[in-house]
Amino acid sequence: MIANGVLLVRDMGMPNEYILKLRDELNRGKMLGPEMIATGAILDGYPPLIPLISLGIQTPAEGRAAVRQQAEAGVDMIKVYSKLDKEVFLAILDEAQKLGLKVVGHVPESVYIEDAAAAGLDSSEHFFGLEKVIAKLLGESVKLSFAGMSSEAGYFQRLGEVNPEELQAVYQRIRASGLTICPTVVTFKTLTNMKAFQTGSFPQREYISPSVLDLWKSLWAGQDDLPDYIWRNWAQMVRGLYQAGVPLMVGTDLMLPGIFPGFSVHEEMAIWQEAGIPAVDVLRSATLVPAQFMGLGDRLGSVSEGKTASLVLVRANPLEDIRNAQQIEGIFLRGQYFSRQDIDRLLAEARDLAQQSTP
């Protein structure tokens, strides 16, 4: 992460006892790594999709209790997930608002994204909910129940059939609600080539340990390649959201095959630029917008006197081409300087550690 200039991360789901300790060690400088915002355990329907890192919730009362439990544990935000029933989801939002906690994560399959945004969802991750927008605008019936994550993603193939003015009106309603979206287009792009990650034949393989590769294979066994149109049309929708003024944040999803810490952030930014979003606004979505969303805008996200010295020095202008953000010459992490030689050493250590790891 540091070697790629990623100096602030948001962890979106791990057991409280593990991730909150790690967050505190990172933020106190006891461990070398980016600063962290953490949601702790995911709040999902019952049974949850990922039991090891989730709390399964069946009733609104359980949802409210889970929010209070997470708040007492010290999480920074509340993470919601795909299987939550609508009434449970709304109860979670209400309880979190009372406690001053943002609610972030997947739009549950039981709720339209416009309704989730209007009810107070603070950030939406990936494309979840936007596929239903396409379906509604096409006059198709939509199931508001869980039938598998992204079960209606096929509607992205029909994006060209949607009336652009009607779609832009939906975007404007989302903007007015205050929802921020973290699109993670790169995750859907990498899932178009699952076979490479099953066989281990892919670029940057040297940074992936055998244990992580085995995890990818076990979690995604039998997963077919996603159609190419999903990520390409989603990228075009991200441009439409940008044009409507919806706040966007650059992010990835490290549990997915082919997503590499740090490196994939730069790929995500390049995808946005290729979709037609100006480099300056891509850069804002990777710096200022997330810092402000995380409540850290008073000391991170921009360069000015009195702010924390966490910044990246590059050899070429990223405002001319966002890919220039990869040409890193030096990095400051809370005032500690890493030269290009230091960065190369970090990368070499990462490669060595990956190859020394055992399944």
pLDDT over threshold 70, residue 358: no
Q: Which two tokens stand for residue 204?
A: 């940057």
Over residues 45-77, the pLDDT tens digits come to: 999 999 999 999 999 999 999 999 999 999 999
Mean of the pLDDT values across residues 286-304?
Answer: 96
Q: Which burial class, exposed, middle or buried, applies to 136 when counting CB atoms under 10 A from its CB (0-12, 13-18, 19+)?
A: middle
DSSP 78-112: EEE-TT--HHHHHHHHHHHHHHT-EEEEPPPTTS-
In this predicted model, which residue has the larger pLDDT, 357 or 165? 165
- The pLDDT score that the predictor gives to residue 46 is 96
- The pLDDT score that the predictor gives to residue 357 is 66
Percent pLDDT > 90 in the chain is 85
pLDDT over threshold 60, residue 286: yes
Mean of the pLDDT values across residues 201-217?
Answer: 87
> E-assigned strands of the chain?
8-11, 35-38, 42-44, 54-56, 77-80, 102-105, 123-125, 180-182, 311-314, 328-333, 336-338
CB within 8 A of 345, min separation 6: which ones?
none
Classify domain 2-305 at the CATH topology level: TIM Barrel (3.20.20)
- The pLDDT score that the predictor gives to residue 222 is 74
CA distances from 256 to 122, 176, 322 (A): 23, 32, 24
Per-residue DSSP letter, 49 = S
Question: In 153-169, which positions are buried (b, 16+ CB within 10 angstroms) versus exposed (e)?
Answer: bebbebbeebeeeebee
Out of 65-79, 179-193, 203-217, 340-354, which region has the weakest mean confidence (pLDDT)? 203-217
Q: Whole-angstrom Cα distance, residue 179 to residue 38? A: 19
- Virtual CA dihedral for 256, 261, 266, 267, nearest 10 degrees? -30
Over residues 10-41, the pLDDT tens digits come to: 999 999 999 999 999 999 999 999 999 999 99
Q: Whole-angstrom Cα distance, residue 264 to residue 190? A: 10
pLDDT over threshold 70, residue 173: yes
Over residues 300-335, the pLDDT tens digits come to: 999 999 999 999 999 999 999 999 999 999 999 999
